[in-house]
């Protein structure tokens, strides 16, 4: 039995809608992490969920995604006692302040 043309088109649109919905779990763009000028990690379209770790800590983070970031000196996206996170807006770059230590992880700020 052959499917009708309208049914085939409707199925195609439904699959496209599912695919586009799944993409909302990702930040569109790149995050570039450097350590003293040397690129150590580039993340493309990372998940907006959870905590992401940088390998060995980084000194500069460039946010080329469509979402804002929060940078942490801890490996688990937590703020140590007396510490804080740093906010990096869309299209911005952040350089670590030597007194705070290297950036070790990041997550996405709620929108």
Residue 7 lies in a domain: no
Query: Can you say how many angstroms the Cα of residue 59 is from the centroid of all Cα atoms in its chain?
Result: 17
Both tokens of 105, joined, read: 């992880």
Q: How high is the pLDDT of residue 38?
A: 93
Task: Write the CATH number for 72.
Answer: 2.60.20.10
Q: Does residue 68 lie within any of the structural domains?
A: yes
Query: What pLDDT tens digit does each residue of the chain (111 aa) get?
Result: 565 666 555 555 555 554 444 456 888 999 999 998 899 999 999 999 999 999 888 999 999 999 999 999 999 999 988 888 999 999 888 887 666 789 999 999 987
Asked, for residue 61, whether it belongs to a domain, the answer is yes
Number of domains in the chain: 1
pLDDT score for 21: 46
Cα–Cα distance for residue pair 108/87, rounded to 1 Å: 9
In whole angstroms, what is the distance from residue 45 CA to residue 26 CA? Answer: 6
Q: Looking at residue 74, what is its pLDDT?
A: 94
The boundaries of the domain holding residue 41 are 26-108
Domain membership flag for residue 12: no
Closest to 46 (Cα-Cα) out of 58, 62, 31: 31
The pLDDT, as a whole number, for residue 100 is: 77
């Amino acid at each position: 039995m052959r499917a009708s043309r309208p049914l085939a088109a409707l199925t195609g649109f439904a699959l496209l809608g599912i695919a586009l919905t799944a993409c909302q779990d990702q930040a569109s763009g790149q995050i570039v992490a450097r350590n003293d000028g040397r690129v150590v990690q580039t993340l493309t379209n990372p998940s907006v969920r959870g905590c992401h770790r940088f390998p060995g800590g980084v000194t500069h983070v460039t946010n080329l995604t469509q979402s804002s970031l929060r940078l942490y000196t801890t490996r688990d996206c937590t703020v140590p006692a007396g510490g804080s996170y740093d906010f990096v807006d869309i299209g911005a770059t952040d350089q670590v302040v030597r007194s705070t230590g290297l950036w070790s992880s990041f997550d996405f700020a709620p929108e």
